[in-house]
Amino acid sequence: MKHLLFSILLMSLSYISFGQPVLNRDIFPDLGESFQIEVTNFSPDSFPRQLFYTWENFFDVDLSGIPVDSTVTERYESPDHALGGADISNAEMAFETPLGVTFARKDGDRFNQVGVCPTILKLPVVTGFQFDKPLGYYDCPIEVNTVFKDSTTSKKDLGLFKVNVLVRAKYEVNGYGNIKLKSGSYKVLRLQREFEFIITTIPLVGNPVKQRGVYVNWEFLSEKEHWPIPRAATLLNDLGTGNQDTVVRFEVLKGSTVDAQAMIVNQGGLFINENGIQIDQNLIGNYILQLIDLTGRAIIKTNISSTVAFDTNSLKGMYLAILVDDEGKIVDSKKIIKR
């Protein structure tokens, strides 16, 4: 009888140890990785709620038959390709989040954010913000009941106005289970992430303007992939609370590749002088040149396919020149200041 009880105890301990995944830094993404994502925009009464029952820490869900509204590609690309990348140092890669472009690097057991270029908020200029200290995105090991919190700041003096930034990030791992997709079956951890971005613009004349952006992601992480198996995104932290007003963007991993173009650093293409913008004559293919003013308005947006020079003598102020290829990737970006 003692041997039987001991065997049952060992089986129970084995289930506790091996039934719940424990993730390490092997899940961190690599520069150049590209992920094909199937997107479904669920209405409040149709999304798979059992994935988000936080009062149940185990789930077993088949998502292989959910409808697909669209397919998108997400990349971890060189910071030199990303909007605001010229303002960020010490970043290894850049990727999109609901608030804009995030710049990140690997630091041992932490995957850290070192800066951000917010695009969802109304700012007087399109620019990257270098964080005063790195902000954790993943902190390993990651397992059930892990809770992580971090915060950072950033300041920028842009002449006519100053900008102060406060960023708060937190996540908790509140479940685990099995998910079946078209691409296979996975053991995953359920990670609930909240990211808060508070920005205060202080003009030389007038009152400060404060904006706040919050997004919540539910990520289902597997040791097999460098991208969440599915991910649910909402601007409201109300999944699992019974709120019926939530519309959920549901992203399911379809596959992954390595994008060699995304790994190219300092590809360049734009040359700025006192009289204008010159496009590198060695560039081959079709490109779009945009010139963006301090309000974020594109005052020039034109297709180009050969060496072109744009006269900027008539311009006054600060601008951002952006060169984009025919796949929508930023090839180069440069600041222009005309006095």
Residue 251's pLDDT band, with cuts at 50, 70 and 90, is confident
Which residues does residue 157 pair with via DSSP β-bridges, in sequence order? 162
pLDDT at 275: 67
Over residues 209-220, mean pLDDT = 87
Q: Give the tens place of pLDDT for each residue, 72-92.
A: 888 898 887 788 888 898 999
pTM above threshold 0.85:
no
Neighbouring C-alpha atoms within 13 Å toward the C-beta of 290: 18
pLDDT at 7: 38
Q: 15-29, 54-68, 101-115, 270-284: lowest mean pLDDT where?
A: 270-284
Over residues 249-275, mean pLDDT = 65
How far is it, in rounded angstroms, from Cα 112 to Cα 182? Answer: 31
User: Nearest-CA neighbor of 32 among 299, 237, 300, 262?
Assistant: 262
Q: Give the tens place of pLDDT for each residue, 125-145.
A: 678 999 999 999 999 999 999
Token reading at 169: 């990030």
pLDDT at 48: 82
Asked if residue 4 has pLDDT above 60, the reply is no
HEC string of 202-266? EECCCCCEEEEEEEEEEEEECCCCCCCCEEEEECCCCCCCCCCCCCEEEEEEEEEEECHHHHCCC
How far is it, in rounded angstroms, from Cα 105 to Cα 81? Answer: 15
How far is it, in rounded angstroms, from Cα 35 to Cα 228? Answer: 10
pLDDT at 241: 46
Contact between 65 and 296 under an 8 Å Cβ cutoff? The reply is no
Q: What is the CA radius of gyration of the chain?
A: 23
Q: Give the tens place of pLDDT for each residue, 100-125.
A: 899 999 999 999 999 998 877 666 66
Asked if residue 192 has pLDDT above 80, the reply is yes
Residue 284's pLDDT band, with cuts at 50, 70 and 90, is low
Residue 328's pLDDT band, with cuts at 50, 70 and 90, is low
User: What are the structural domains, with CATH classification, of the chain?
Assistant: 25-263 (no CATH), 270-338 (2.60.40)
Q: 3-12, 23-32, 225-234, 290-299: lowest mean pLDDT where?
A: 3-12
pLDDT at 78: 85
